Chains A and B, each alone.
Chain A
């Protein structure tokens, strides 16, 4: 009951013109930086942090929530249209989304991504409003041992994520893990595989690799094939929207993806990435159309919803307990800190106006983003109609500047080009790229949590099996891997018997 009362109070705060304006501003800024590859929500919020000092803290929080949600809406645009995943959680969207765009269904993919984001945002906000304290305490049960098993099971799932040969994806996973060890290791500051380059000390960043492997390699391949008609299919404006059939097919994936994203995303570390992989895996398993790998709409709807739901989930530990599990949440927390507000379990009772105001404004922001993004679908989808000599140089510019804007590092541009060539060769040889980059992201988390778990337990490997949550995750992972295989065997055995 007091949740409704709180929300009502919250809406009265959020609906004041000034807060509405900040919500709108945040949504616009967020969408724009989400679309531009490079500078993500984290960098933008850090840039604007001192600006929020001049506002009321509620307004600052609303602005940042708008940016954060908006960036997730915008992020799917480059993934689908240009084959550039802006963050690790978008890698899965690229797999089906870009194939849809190539088939002339870019508009459908974008619209489904936007609606999926809205559905997921709403579901995760409901979760945030009603269950925040309970869920946050549950998330705390995850320690280093659990992070390790989550990442490890994630790697297991990944081998089955894409088609093609198992040995090939295993080899690329190994390469990704190896690339993830470059840089200063976090426990003792030991330099690994940096070859004396101080700039490599911070490791190989996600974006140069993602932009290179996916974006630059796509540009190179397009350049080689420009004289043929295999370019993007041209579409009429009327075909920009999803058909009824496509709506029907994406509805359940959206809902499933939202729940997967919200619950898996509550746990920090490797979880948001893995939630998109789990959603993709589930949809692939349930698929009846045999379109996966060639642009299945379910493969966009599910993971995109999962990705967005994890954004709402990230706010849960921050709002309920004052614990910022991710760097982006730490910046959001700083908005409160510079105003002398201590976020924590008492925030809800001490500053209900702020707590509920921010949550209410997220509902409004989410709705605003939908209204704001749907008309843009048409605009963006028609980007593909621009002539190649305009589109491709623009994409290259976005990559060249975007990759620099993350760490202001020249080395990152070199890396992007290097990985662009690698991606080009891999694709020519028909390798799937997703395992490589996802392993690179998950590897460092896996190592860190393994070492922390081992140091805490003084070298007892059994912790992974004796801690109930960790053991459950492992069991689920092994079942998911062996399950289909076993069922198949058992089924065949039964079929043979009579």
Chain B
């Protein structure tokens, strides 16, 4: 499994490149004097397929030789524990988006902050509640009242307007 992961991305991009190219070929291409909407995507598609293929081959022939790792990653933490955090946080963000329209920004973000604080290791509920409350109020003032970002207010619509 570990060995396959570096192949995953070039592989996926090769597939994506083929689909991309297929769609590009269906677009009107025009000529060089009047390049149509499909002209440039076609070139990009070829480029994507070729580079993904090259990357795949290189990855197969001589696997990762990191000259410079972007961020220094620590390999010590057990895999399950790590991925668990990412899954939890992603689910939390998705939950926030789904709650935004019906519940409105203040309620949704307060709940979001409450859970996020816990995920990031706050042991104390009291602290979490205070923090979520302060940040919700502050962001409400800055973004909605001051910068006039039209965030949905949901159930609080009529009260806050």
Residue numbers of A with Cβ under 8 A of B are 33, 36, 39, 44, 47, 102, 162-165, 167-168, 170-171, 173-175, 177-178, 181, 185, 187-188, 190, 192-193, 216, 219-221, 223-228, 230, 293-294, 387-390, 392-394, 396-397, 400-401, 404-405, 408, 410, 413-414, 417, 420-421, 424-433, 443, 447, 450-451, 454-455, 458-459, 461
Contact = CB atoms under 8 A, between A and B. Distances in A.
6 closest pairs, A vs B, by CB? A459-B33, A163-B68, A190-B37, A224-B82, A393-B116, A389-B120
A177 B74 contact: no
B159 interface: no
B68 A178 contact: no
A459 B31 contact: yes
Contact of B139 (A164, A225, A401, A410): A401
Interface residues of B, number: 78
Given A167-B58, A175-B13, A410-B100, A458 B93 contact: no
B8 to A, nearest CB: 8
Contacts, number: 207
A277 to B, nearest CB: 18
Given A192-B41, A228-B77, A454-B34, A163 B67 contact: yes
Given A174-B17, A230-B72, A431-B9, 18 more contacts: A171-B51, A171-B54, A177-B44, A178-B20, A178-B45, A185-B37, A190-B27, A192-B23, A219-B89, A220-B89, A224-B82, A393-B117, A397-B135, A401-B109, A429-B6, A430-B66, A430-B70, A454-B34
Contacts of B45: 178
25 contacts: A44-B147, A164-B66, A164-B67, A165-B55, A165-B67, A167-B54, A170-B54, A171-B48, A174-B17, A174-B47, A175-B13, A177-B48, A181-B44, A219-B89, A220-B85, A223-B85, A224-B81, A389-B128, A393-B131, A397-B113, A401-B139, A429-B6, A429-B9, A451-B39, A459-B32
A174 B52 contact: yes
Interface string B108-143: 010011001111111000001001000100010011
A294 B150 CA distance: 40
Given A178-B20, A224-B86, A230-B72, A413 B97 contact: yes
B76 interface: yes
Contacts of B150: 408
A177 B47 contact: yes
Contact of B97 (A228, A414, A429): A414
Interface of B: 5-6, 9-10, 13, 16-17, 20, 23, 27-28, 31-37, 39-41, 44-45, 47-48, 51-52, 54-55, 58, 64, 66-74, 76-77, 81-83, 85-86, 88-90, 93-94, 96-97, 100-101, 105, 109, 112-113, 116-122, 128, 131, 135, 139, 142-143, 147-151
A426 B71 CA distance: 11
Nearest to A32: B142
Contact of A47 (B17, B44, B143, B148): B148
Contacts of B40: 181, 447, 450-451
